[in-house]
Amino acid sequence: MIEPFAKPFYITQPLLPDMDEFNEMLKSIWASKQLSNNGTMVKQLERDLSGYLNADYLSVFSNGTVALQLACKVLRLSGEVITTPFTFAATTHSLLWNNLKPVFCDIEEDTYNINPDLIESLITQDTTAIMPVHVFGNPCNVAKIKQIADKYGLKIIYDAAHAFGVKVDGKPISSFGDISMFSFHATKIYHTIEGGALTFKDPYFKERADSLRNFGIKNTDTVLEPGTNGKLNEIQASVGILLLKQVESEIENRKEITNYYRQFLKDIPGIITVNDIEGVSHNYSYFVIRVDKTEYGYSRDELFDKLLEYNVIARKYFYPLCSNFQCYRDYPSSLKDKLPVANKISDMVLSLPLHGRMQKEDVEKISSIIKAIHEG
Ligand SMILES: *Cc1c(COP(=O)(O)O)cnc(C)c1O
């Protein structure tokens, strides 16, 4: 029997800024006496991120969910929005918070992203937009989605929460769709503890988003519309400025860990891993396997429970599907036989621990545990 890990081996571990550098940042914030409201740090972070993500226009927010909610407002969406059930709750919830009706579209078997071949059949006269997700950082079929959006005059908001720094044929992921949302939550590959960003093609969209994140206030005498409080503060922005210097090496390290996983898991029956996609620069933010019970001998849920006995904390991303949440399951598009692939994949996927400080031995041990469980 393999010894369990002495301490819980969590799904991920956040990047942390260098303490001395962070202290220097804090000193300058203390000296400025400005802690929030579009200060020096937030402005610098927006410049740095626009550069890194190659975005035309970019704004930062207190979190990715608020950013997504405001993206819908900026585009003045109404009626129905076609989206994927295979995502984090925030994607669908952001639509409801805007009184929009999510229409769930099934996913592709290989990328777990929205299946563009099924989008057209879901379009009605109430459809105003498509909200796809680049699931686990794997880019959607952006060309096909654009073609459909152009044909029907629909807007596209990409939930790019997982896709920080990803490129498709050299093009930055932020260059697709009208708006893209990035999440900077501490569990994401790049973060500001809590935080998020929107990237825009149109400078007018940034202007409105900046107003909406600050209550819709235009100036001391004018409030334009009912905005919200979506501001990022100076201390979190300084964390973001410092961590941006670490992202490249984090991606490199995770790539190495990912390749070890692929190598060590390759010959275990019923454990399916996903390869890199040609032409894509991945960010390796998640390592996700599929468990085929008939070949592996145990279901995903059984493997998840057994891994806990070894102190390995995996995650069932994304289970349950949004379409199966109590608040959405009565929608006509939520019917299980309309979403066969999503329902099947959601019962098979398991995210394994991944971060840049992991060692080859950790990957080897987790893989051996998965093998030992199979061999009973
Ligand atoms: C993390 C995440 C969000 C929400 O981001 P927060 O910054 O945590 O609000 C939205 N969509 C997806 C797919 C996510 O993984």
Residue 318: asked if its preceding bond is cis (omega within 30°), the reply is yes
User: What phi and psi, each to the nearest 5 degrees, are found at residue 158?
Assistant: -90, 125
Task: Catalogue all structural domains in the chain, each as residue range(s) with its CATH number.
Answer: 19-105+113-243 (3.40.640.10), 247-375 (3.90.1150.10)
Count other C-beta atoms under 10 Å from residue 86's C-beta: 29
Count other C-beta atoms under 10 Å from residue 311's C-beta: 15
Enumerate residues 6+ apart whose C-beta is below 8 A from 255. 282, 284
What number does the ligand 1 atom closest to the CA of 135 have? 13
Percent of all residues in the chain with a pLDDT value above 90, rounded to a whole number: 99
Enumerate residues 6+ apart whose C-beta is below 8 A from 44. 237, 241
Judge whether residue 238 has pLDDT over 90: yes
Count other C-beta atoms under 10 Å from residue 360's C-beta: 12
Q: Look at the pTM and tell me if it is higher than 0.95.
A: yes
- Residue 150 amino acid letter: D
337 token code pair: 């036989």
Res 48: pLDDT? 98
Distance 90 CA to ligand 1 centre (A): 6
Distance 361 CA to ligand 1 centre (A): 31
272-330 pLDDT, tens digit per residue, is 999 999 999 999 999 999 999 999 999 999 999 999 999 999 999 999 999 999 999 99
What number does the ligand 1 atom closest to the CA of 196 have? 7
User: What phi and psi, each to the nearest 5 degrees, are found at residue 242?
Assistant: -70, -40
Rounded Cα distance, 265 and 6, in Å = 22
Res 1: pLDDT? 82
Percent of all residues in the chain with a pLDDT value above 70, rounded to a whole number: 100
348-357 pLDDT, tens digit per residue, is 999 999 999 9
> For residue 335, what pLDDT band results from cuts at 50, 70 and 90?
very high
Res 121: pLDDT? 98
DSSP state of 332: G
* Residue the block writes with tokens 């279901």: 299
- Rounded mean pLDDT, 154-173: 98
83-136 pLDDT, tens digit per residue, is 999 999 999 999 999 999 999 999 999 999 999 999 999 999 999 999 999 999
- Rounded mean pLDDT, 57-66: 98
Burial of 199 (0-12, 13-18, 19+ CB in 10 A): buried
Rounded Cα distance, 310 and 289, in Å = 18
Q: Are 68 and 90 in contact (CB under 8 A)?
A: yes
> For residue 369, what pLDDT band results from cuts at 50, 70 and 90?
very high
- Rounded mean pLDDT, 229-257: 98
Rounded Cα distance, 142 and 146, in Å = 6
How confident is the prediction for the chain on average, in pLDDT? 97
Rounded Cα distance, 166 and 313, in Å = 26
Q: Are 64 and 181 in contact (CB under 8 A)?
A: yes
User: What phi and psi, each to the nearest 5 degrees, are found at residue 161?
Assistant: -50, -35
Exposure letters 280-296 (e unless 16+ CB within 10 A, then b): ebbbbbbbbbbbeeeeb
Substitution candidate for ligand 1 out of 185, 187, 191 with most atoms within 8 A of CB? 185
Res 376: pLDDT? 87
Substitution candidate for ligand 1 out of 91, 113, 191, 315 with most atoms within 8 A of CB? 91
For 286, the 3-state DSSP assignment is coil
> Left, alpha or beta for 112 (phi > 0: left; psi -120 to 50: alpha)?
left
Ligand 1 pocket: which residues have CB below 6 Å? 63-65, 87-88, 90-91, 133, 159, 161-162, 183, 185, 196
Rounded Cα distance, 306 and 373, in Å = 8
168-218 pLDDT, tens digit per residue, is 999 999 999 999 999 999 999 999 999 999 999 999 999 999 999 999 999
What number does the ligand 1 atom closest to the CA of 133 have? 13
